[in-house]
Amino acid sequence: MAGSLNTSITAWNGHGRIGMADNAFASPNSVARTVYHEIAHNWDEQSENRFVRDFRAVAGWFQTPFGINPNGLIPGNWERAAGASWSGWWFVDKNANLDGFAWTYGKENPLEDFATSFAAYVAAATGAPHAGNTFESPAAVSSRLAQRFSVLDEFFASMS
Ligand SMILES: [Zn+2]
């Protein structure tokens, strides 16, 4: 997606290229986060990554026909994906807080959930703080995102 001046867009991934806007260079942490995030989008679909199904199960990502609200129909505290084009997607927001999301941007859709979690995982693996909604130590973010990181452990193990 191309941005214009004064956009909040930091980067994009498409057609085999990652583009980064000036916004991505606001701090060293955001540069690393953006690079990890965009690389992650190469494996955010089930056709690209056999662990996507397990990953999406952590947040309970669930698509309803016509965007039907599952609250009252299916047990759970369902929240609609924030991304407008993903309005048919829902997740279970277990405590109405950031919950196990790496960053609120992960609530946009399952692809951003994966990319934000992947970026947090790689940052933690390198001993860097996670630059999400707040800065978190590698130990703190690894604990908070334990379920997502467990799936990512399997994903990375499968690549070696
Ligand atoms: Zn993204």
DSSP collapsed to 3 states, the chain: CCCCCCCCCCEEEECCEEEECHHHHCCHHHHHHHHHHHHHHHHCCCCCCCCHHHHHHHHCCEECHHHCCCCCCCCCCEEECCCHHHCCEEEECCCCCCCCCCCHHHHHCHHHHHHHHHHHHHHHHCCCCEECCCEECHHHHHHHCHHHHHHHHHHHHHHC
Q: Are 83 and 108 in contact (CB under 8 A)?
A: yes
How many A from CA of 34 to the centre of ligand 1?
Answer: 8
- Asked if residue 4 has pLDDT above 90, the reply is no
Claim: this prediction has a pTM higher than 0.75: yes
How many A from CA of 95 to the centre of ligand 1?
Answer: 24
Task: State the pLDDT confidence band at 149, using cuts at 50, 70 and 90.
Answer: very high
Mean pLDDT of 102-116: 93
Q: How many CB atoms lie within 10 A of CB 23?
A: 15
How many A from CA of 73 to the centre of ligand 1?
Answer: 31
Residue 112 amino acid letter: E
Mean pLDDT of 41-47: 95
